[in-house]
Amino acid sequence: MIRILLAIIIIVLLITAKYLNSHSESICKIFGTTEEDSQTIDKTLQKFSKACLLFSALGLAAFLLNHQLIAIIYICLVILTSAIFSIKFAKSLS
């Protein structure tokens, strides 16, 4: 069951990273009111995109190792990274 969850998380992270890389400019136009805000938002999105790629690679390693503790730690790290991104993105919007 955990392997299925890991596979889903890996796929979602890869799709998210690809989307953020290809559409970061249009997202910045939607949320950024000034040029400085757009640059801050773009930097935040690029950092999160790189983090998504890194965590998808780590997820693949956790998937192949098939160890329950490693998988749970990985899932907690992904959730923590998502929370940090949400807080930083909200700060850059305000």
Gap between the Cα atoms of 12 and 16, Å rounded: 6
Q: What is the pLDDT of residues 15-74, one digit of tens each?
A: 989 988 888 777 777 776 677 777 777 888 888 889 899 999 999 999 999 899 999 999
Residue 85 lies in domain: 1-92
Q: How many domains does the chain have?
A: 1
Q: Of how many residues is the chain composed?
A: 94
The answer to whether 2 touches 68, Cβ cutoff 8 Å, is: yes
Predicted TM-score of the model (pTM): 0.79
For 3-69, give the DSSP string: HHHHHHHHHHHHHHHHHHHHHHHHHHHHH-SSHHHHHHHHHHHHHHHHHHHHHHHHHHHHHHHT-HH
